[in-house]
Amino acid sequence: MAPKDKDLQDIYNRIFADAMKYTDQYNIQMVAATYIAIAMRLYKSTLSPEEYEMMVEAIMETEVDPFFKKPPKLH
């Protein structure tokens, strides 16, 4: 794995873990909306208008697998 790929996977894993912690206290849709709002603000702050539109299109066209939170084990 290339160093940049490793860094991207590392930060993804860390932020995803943080997001999952927030779902213990807040509705999962609230957490998702907050993260996407932050992402869009960061993109809008660093990309040109054309690049921003390309990023939005790429996000909308990207297929992702759903996440199903596992219930806690009782034993």
Segment 11-62, tens digit of pLDDT: 999 999 999 999 999 999 999 999 999 999 999 999 999 999 999 999 999 9
Tell me how many domains the chain contains.
Answer: 1
Residue numbers of the domain that contains 37: 21-47
- On whether residue 25 sits in a domain, the answer given is yes
* pTM of this structure: 0.75
- On whether residue 43 sits in a domain, the answer given is yes
Question: At what angle are helices 3-22 and 28-46 packed, to 10 degrees?
Answer: 140
Q: Is the dihedral of CA 38, 10, 54, 32 positive or negative?
A: negative
- On whether residue 38 sits in a domain, the answer given is yes
Nearest-angstrom CA–CA distance, 65 and 42: 24
